[in-house]
Amino acid sequence: MNDNELKALISLLDDEDQEVVEHVEKQIRQIGGSMIPLLETEWEGSFNPALQKRIEELIHNLQYESVLDRMRDWKNGGGMDLLEGLWIVATYQYPDLSLDKLRQDIEQLFYDVWVDFKDDMHPDERVRALNHAFFTKLKFAPNTKHFHSPANSMINQVMESRRGNPITLCILYMLIANRLKLPIYGVNLPNLFVLTYKDNNVVQFYINVFNRGLIFSRKDIDQYIDQLNLKQLSTFYQPCTNADIVRRVLRNLVLAFEKTGDVERVSEVERILEMVQDEGDGLPLSDYTQR
């Protein structure tokens, strides 16, 4: 169909015959996201609240299906680009968010840190220097006031507000560290996401970004797991995958919407989570509740 035919199709959304409307909606969904700009134009020119609501629901459905498709493709492609995975999560609420803009913002954070960084530092010194830059210069901090806010799972919101939950703060810290060529990776602990500095030349240690970059040891993790009366699994000590990280962000988002009683969004995010799920997924870790 050309644009005029598509516009004519959209105009039938206002038809009095419900069967016609349902048929048109089905056709629009089949055509996909390319219909969104035309639908937005129709919405802007309409003075019919019922039609506007119908168009809003269609646009949301098309954008949502796009999120599902992108997440499925990201996972099937190996989930190599962590920032892309976080961008896909954020487009659930911010469909116009630019991945290129996110990359530019991360690059700016890196440069802000890099100018004060020295390569010949000992690993402990490197982490302390990064801590100073991340928390003092860049002013990132835990969002303890609104810990359960869905915004804490949106990478763009965390970058803008400089406030986040354990995993999103860890992600930004890790992305900057990786640009600095530091061997820092994510670690899935129950109820808390942390980072590890893992290099064959030094004893592996861990970083609690939510506690302003506190450095701790494997023994501390042993004690933490014992306090939770859990078995000491290898996943509590070793780097996790990008897909693990995105799954955890999505689980946090599910719990955030559960807190607000938004059943529809809970269901939608759970479907996004299905797109990135592995067979036989283990402990459903989150930063909010012990599982």
Q: Count Cα atoms within 13 angstroms, Cβ side, for 270.
A: 10
DSSP 16-45: S-HHHHHHHHHHHHHH-GGGHHHHHHHHHT
> Domain check: are 240 and 131 in the same one?
yes
| Regions in the chain scoring below 70 on pLDDT | 1, 279-286, 288-291
How far is it, in rounded angstroms, from Cα 66 to Cα 279?
23
Domain assignment present for residue 52? The answer is: yes
pLDDT for residue 291:
31
Q: Is residue 285 part of a domain?
A: no
**Phi-psi map region of 117: left, alpha, beta (phi>0 left; psi -120 to 50 alpha):** beta
Are both 144 and 171 inside the same structural domain? yes
Same domain, 148 and 196: yes
Distance CA 268, CA 210 (A): 28
Q: Which residue has the tokens 């646009």?
A: 59
Q: Are residues 158 and 174 in the same domain?
A: yes
- Whether residue 280 lies inside any domain: the answer is no
Residue written as token pair 């680009």:
81
Same domain, 224 and 200: yes
Query: What is the pLDDT at residue 282?
Result: 54
Residues 53 and 138 in one domain: no
Residue 138 and residue 47 in one domain: no
Please tell me whether residues 50 and 157 are part of one structural domain. no
Percent helix, strand and coil across the chain, each rounded to 5?
A: 60, 10, 30
**261 in the same domain as 170:** yes
Asked whether residue 174 falls in the same domain as residue 147, the answer is: yes
Dump pLDDT digits (tens) for 15-72: 777 888 888 888 888 888 888 888 888 888 887 888 888 888 899 999 999 999 999 9
Using the 3D structure, point to which of 35, 60, 76 is the last residue of a domain. 76
The string of DSSP letters for 139-196 reads --EE--TTTT-GGGG-HHHHHHHSEE-HHHHHHHHHHHHHHTT--EEEEEETTEEEEE
Q: Are residues 115 and 228 in the same domain?
A: yes
Domain presence at residue 289: no
HSE-up of 290 (CA within 13 Å, CB side)? 6
Decide which of 51, 76, 101 is a domain's last residue: 76
Residue 286 belongs to some domain of the structure = no
Q: What is the dihedral of CA 77, 245, 155, 96, to 10 degrees?
A: 30
Q: How many CB atoms lie within 10 A of CB 56?
A: 13
User: What are 162's two structure tokens?
Assistant: 């400089």
Structure tokens at 95: 């469909």
Q: How many domains does the chain have?
A: 2
What six digits make up the tokens of 10? 């959209």
3-state SS assignment for residue 214:
strand
CA separation for the pair 16, 20 (Å, rounded): 8
- How far CA 280 is from CA of 85, 242, 260, in Å, comes to 21, 17, 29
What pTM did the predictor assign?
Answer: 0.88
Domain membership of residue 60 as a residue range: 3-76
Residue 283 lies in a domain: no
Q: Are residues 116 and 130 in the same domain?
A: yes
* Residue where one domain finishes, among candidates 37, 52, 76: 76
In a domain, 155, yes or no: yes
Residue 19 lies in a domain: yes
